[in-house]
Amino acid sequence: LKTFKAKIFLATFSLFVSLETIAADKVRVLLGEETRALEFSTQYPVHFESGVQKMNLSHPKMSFKVSRKGGVWQVEVPGQPTYSLKGPPRLDMASISIVWKSGNVVYPVSLFYKNGRYQLIGHMDIEEYLKGVLPHEMPSSWPLEALKAQAVASRSYALWKMKHQESSNYDLRTSVLDQMFRLNKVGESTSPPPKVEEALRATKGVALLAGPSKVLKAYFHSDCGGATDGARNVWGTDSPQGSIRDVACAKRSSGWESQWSKEKISQRIQAEVVVPGNAELKDLIVRSQLKSERAQWVDLLYSNGYLKRVRGEDIRRILGYSKIKSTLFAIQKSNGKFIFKGRGFGHGVGLCQHGARAMAQAGETYQNILNHYYPKAILRSPLPPMELKEATRAVSSL
Ligand SMILES: [Zn+2]
């Protein structure tokens, strides 16, 4: 084992560099959450802070484990005595490059402990962020104009999230809960596929607006099954995407089926829906359909006459988005089973990715694709600096 000349010191005065010194126009991406411990390594100095305790650790190729044992917070560094802290440590690294879960984090990061979880947050330029999104939201083998349309939708969605800080610590998650984002593995090229880079370069700064100075929360999904629908209809939230008929998808979309025994479906629903008394689930009925034929409301009927009305999208959430692929379903009952038969994949709001692909293959531009899927939005090219500025906010101080 190599011995390193360790430079480790505990500072009694604040050497703390606030994240505010990292530009405030960065996207804050929740790279990951850990419940037991957070482990990472880096060759750059790390600043930990816990209450009045502050420490700067610097050691070549240093690995860290942040955890809690009993009521004590610890920072473990191999070959060093364990550091005990009086409260949850917070971390701020203006210098970049840490290795976390074999992923290469080449952005400034911060660490928070919230609701029993360690949150590792990366701070990056929006265009840099989109390089980690686009290849995972749409195959890079798809036509360039479809990739450009996806780039603008993803950029607009991210800008909206930055403007409407729903969490104080971060703007975006890295899953379908927001949009997919993946870190490069150690040793992997940091450049996305050339077509992805081209799509981002050609649309740099372009975004969809919901009004003269309002970024659109641009939703998108995999396959509309023949028609899209408005956010208000699907979730009851106000976001002016508009809705359209999608002829290509009506012809193309293949069907899906999901079977549920009464016991299984009751179990799942029971975990989410409170029913008075010891009533048994009797039936599920699509109460109303949207113009796109999506199930808007579904009635759950119980043995004691109780009726609970839930949104079609709630049924997807409760039973699983991969099982109930869309709300374009009909429910059949056969031999005590509930059989969902449907088509399409995703919530059906905003851009339809398979439809965008078909339009691009037919020679349409990305502008035409976006105008088709967001008939109520304004395509701004490029987004004026004022609006970009408005779409950003100060990073809250640690
Ligand atoms: Zn479609």
pLDDT > 70 fraction of the chain, expressed in percent and rounded: 87
Would you state the pLDDT for residue 86?
75
**How far does the centroid of ligand 1 lie from the alpha carbon of residue 129, in Å?**
26
**How far does the centroid of ligand 1 lie from the alpha carbon of residue 246, in Å?**
5
Would you state the pLDDT for residue 219?
97
**How far does the centroid of ligand 1 lie from the alpha carbon of residue 319, in Å?**
23
**How far does the centroid of ligand 1 lie from the alpha carbon of residue 309, in Å?**
28
**How far does the centroid of ligand 1 lie from the alpha carbon of residue 242, in Å?**
14
Kind of pairing between the strands at 172-173 and 27-34: parallel
pLDDT band at 60 (very low <50, low <70, confident <90, very high): low
Would you state the pLDDT for residue 71?
75
pLDDT band at 93 (very low <50, low <70, confident <90, very high): low
Could you read off the pLDDT of 169-220 as tens digits, one per residue? 899 999 988 999 999 888 888 789 999 999 999 999 899 999 887 899 999 9
**How far does the centroid of ligand 1 lie from the alpha carbon of residue 44, in Å?**
47
**How far does the centroid of ligand 1 lie from the alpha carbon of residue 350, in Å?**
10
Would you state the pLDDT for residue 383?
57
**How far does the centroid of ligand 1 lie from the alpha carbon of residue 313, in Å?**
18
Could you read off the pLDDT of 98-145 as tens digits, one per residue? 888 888 888 888 888 888 888 889 989 999 999 999 999 999 999 999
- 8 has pLDDT over 70: no
Residues comprising the chain, all counted: 398
Kind of pairing between the strands at 103-105 and 109-114: unpaired
Q: Which residues have a beta carbon within 5 Å of ligand 1, which is an ion?
A: 224, 246, 249, 352, 355
pLDDT band at 1 (very low <50, low <70, confident <90, very high): very low
Written as one letter, the residue type at 87 is: G
- 40 has pLDDT over 90: no
**How far does the centroid of ligand 1 lie from the alpha carbon of residue 223, in Å?**
5
**How far does the centroid of ligand 1 lie from the alpha carbon of residue 38, in Å?**
41
Give the pTM. 0.84
CB-based contact 319:253 (threshold 8 Å) = no
**How far does the centroid of ligand 1 lie from the alpha carbon of residue 177, in Å?**
20
- 28 has pLDDT over 80: yes
Q: Could you identify the residue written with the tokens 């930990």?
A: 48
Higher pLDDT, 238 or 60: 238
pLDDT band at 362 (very low <50, low <70, confident <90, very high): very high
Query: What is the rounded average pLDDT for all residues in the chain?
Result: 84
**How far does the centroid of ligand 1 lie from the alpha carbon of residue 254, in Å?**
12
CB-based contact 338:323 (threshold 8 Å) = no
Q: What is the DSSP string of 129-179?
A: HHHHHHHHHS-TTS-HHHHHHHHHHHHHHHHHHHHT-SSSS-SEESSTTS-
- 9 has pLDDT over 50: no
**How far does the centroid of ligand 1 lie from the alpha carbon of residue 256, in Å?**
16
**DSSP secondary-structure letter at 281?**
E
What is the three-class DSSP state of 317? Answer: helix
Cis upstream peptide for 89 (omega within 30°): no
**How far does the centroid of ligand 1 lie from the alpha carbon of residue 250, in Å?**
7
pLDDT band at 20 (very low <50, low <70, confident <90, very high): very low
Where are the extended beta strands (E) located within 234-362?
255-261, 281-289, 295-302, 307-311, 329-334, 337-343, 351-352
Distance, in Å, from the CA atom of 132 to the CA atom of 134, rounded to the nearest integer, reads: 6
pLDDT band at 68 (very low <50, low <70, confident <90, very high): confident
**How far does the centroid of ligand 1 lie from the alpha carbon of residue 229, in Å?**
11
**How far does the centroid of ligand 1 lie from the alpha carbon of residue 355, in Å?**
4
The pair of three-digit structure tokens given for residue 126, joined into one six-digit string: 């929006």
**How far does the centroid of ligand 1 lie from the alpha carbon of residue 245, in Å?**
8
CB-based contact 81:61 (threshold 8 Å) = no
**How far does the centroid of ligand 1 lie from the alpha carbon of residue 378, in Å?**
20
- 322 has pLDDT over 70: yes
CB-based contact 106:190 (threshold 8 Å) = yes
**How far does the centroid of ligand 1 lie from the alpha carbon of residue 317, in Å?**
21
- Strand ranges across the sheet with 83-85: 83-85, 72-76, 62-69, 37-42, 98-100, 103-105, 184-185
Residue 226, beta-bridge partner list: none
**How far does the centroid of ligand 1 lie from the alpha carbon of residue 332, in Å?**
25
Higher pLDDT, 4 or 44: 44
